[in-house]
Amino acid sequence: MGSVLPEDAGSTLTAEAVDAVLRRMARARNQHDHALLEWLLRGDELQVERLHGYASMREYGARVFGFGPRGVEDRLRVARALRQLPRLNRAFAEGDVVYTVVRELCRVATPETEAEWLASVEGKTGSEVQREVAGRQPGDLPTDEPEPALVPHRVTLELLPDAYALLLAARERAVISAGASVDDSTFVTHAMLAYLSGDGEGESGRAPYQIALTIDAHRGAVIDAAGESVPVDDVTVAMACCDGEHVGVVDGEGPAKRASKTIPPKTRRQVERRQHHRCAVPGCSNSAYLHLHHVRHRSEGGDHHPENLVGLCSAHHRAAHAGALDVSGRFSEGFVYRHADGRPYGSPIEGPGASVMRDAHQALRSMSWSEREARAMLERVRGELGPEADLMEIVRLALKSAPVAGVREDVVPYQRCA
């Protein structure tokens, strides 16, 4: 694309004219940023990442927009807050305020105080507003005295590479423990308390799941969490069975059995270190606590050998057991990562969408076909599918290809659950 300026612009444009154009562009950019937040929130609510077979909205944002690790989370937080702040939302939509200012105001403004905050920050930069909201809580006015105990302190550290690596590893564990992004104050507080309590040495080789799992004929599978029995889906059960620390029966008679790890700790350490503690899926930037996934499932003859194990982040581990991510091969030969529709992971969609193929995989699994059999059936019919193939057509073709005598096209009128 060529320049938007005319060839003789250098001799005819004035500073005033350039300033006017830039200010119009700035206003248009603010309006665009507002629209982006709204659409990201809609996408998160509708799980738009599933259309392309991505494991999370975070990965969608990284691949589509190039956002960093916290880019999507920050924008979704602001978008949700704006739904409760009509004045700030309208000012942002009209291009009157920039995203960095909106992001900071969403930390303290309420429907009762947003008008005062908007008037207070007029003409200020994002960094100035960041300092102004420091020490304030939601509901405070700009004229209220900041609470010294809430004013953050900026700390600069100069770390050698080994110390920096330890800092990153500790931060990753904090994120896993919280199940979400963790602010700096929370991370440092937990890290220092662990150090002062003498628990600074982390347990290496520990599984990501330590579960008390009950399978009831009426309730299905439940896991104890935070004092409650929480129903879980079959994918969660498969993930826990794949890589967990099992404590056995907890409500039976007699003493409890010793907890047993699905994968030996020494094997876990080997796989984690060869992957540099990072998810193996191409393009995934998640270096949080890894789940070890059996490429050939144990129920299908797979074992705990490192050749058969790959480290995945929790989102991609769930995607693998849900049929949205297909991992094949062995470590020495190189693992292959594909979407449910057979595309190399991260490549553009061609033919039936990944979400339809994933649903077909789950339909076959619900008919008691194993994961390996379901994938093989779908692979055999992939070349016969047109770009508009729907779920029923794919399932029927897959069943016709089943290597079992007596399977007819009309035996399973599968209907997708709402």
**SS3 per-residue string spanning 381-400:** HHHHCCCCCCHHHHHHHHHH
354 in the same domain as 318: no
Q: Is 274 a residue whose pLDDT tops 70?
A: yes
Domain closes at, from 305, 332, 359: 332
Q: Which of 332, 366, 391 is the last residue of a domain?
A: 332
Least confident of 12-21, 166-175, 375-384: 166-175
The answer on pLDDT for 157 being more than 50 is yes
Nearby residues of 328 by Cβ (< 8 Å), 6 or more positions away: 295, 335, 336, 338
Is residue 352 located within the same domain as residue 382? yes
The answer to whether position 186 is within a domain reads no
Is 37 contained in some domain?
A: yes
Q: How far apart are CA 317 and CA 306, in angstroms?
A: 17
Tell me: pLDDT of 35 over 80. yes
Whether 229 maps to a domain, the answer reads yes
pLDDT, mean over the chain: 77
Number of domains in the chain: 3
**Which of 24-28, 383-387, 412-416 is predicted most confidently?**
24-28
pTM over 0.85: no
What kind and span of H or E run contains 299? none
3-state secondary structure of 243: coil
- Average of pLDDT values for 338-356? 71
Assign 197 to helix, strand or coil: coil
Is residue 191 domain-resident?
no
- Tell me whether residue 90 is in a domain: yes
Tell me, what CATH number does 63's domain have? 1.10.10
Same domain as 50, residue 80: yes
Amino acid 408: pLDDT? 41
Tell me: pLDDT of 210 over 60: no
Q: Which long-range contacts (CB under 8 A, 24 or more apart) does 325-328 make?
A: 325/53, 325/55, 325/281, 326/375, 327/293, 327/295, 328/295
Q: Are residues 319 and 344 in the same domain?
A: no
Categorize the per-residue pLDDT at 75 as very low, low, confident or very high, splitting at 50, 70 and 90.
very high
- Mean pLDDT calculated for residue range 4-17: 69
- Domain hosting 322: range is 221-332
Token output for 33: 């940023």
Over 70: is that where the pLDDT of 257 sits?
A: no
Are 350 and 328 members of one domain? no
Looking at the fold, whether 237 and 275 belong to one and the same domain comes out as: yes
- Whether 25 is covered by a domain: the verdict is yes
β-partners of residue 310 are: 293
Q: Which of 183, 192, 300 is nearest to 238 (CA)?
A: 300
Please report how many Cα atoms fall inside a 13 Å half-sphere around the Cα of residue 401, on the Cβ side: 19
Give the pairing of strands 210-211 and 245-246: parallel
Predicted local confidence at residue 303, as pLDDT: 84
Q: Please tell me the distance from the alpha carbon of residue 372 to that of residue 364, in angstroms, as a whole number.
A: 11
* 269 in the same domain as 384: no
Is residue 313 domain-shared with residue 384, that is, in the same domain?
no
134 near 151, Cβ under 8 Å?
Answer: yes
Is there a domain that residue 165 lies in?
no
Among candidate residues 332, 361, 394, the one where a domain is terminated: 332
Statement to judge: residues 231 and 346 lie in one domain: no
* 285: in domain: yes
Q: Do both 274 and 376 map to the same domain?
A: no
Same domain flag for 271 and 358: no
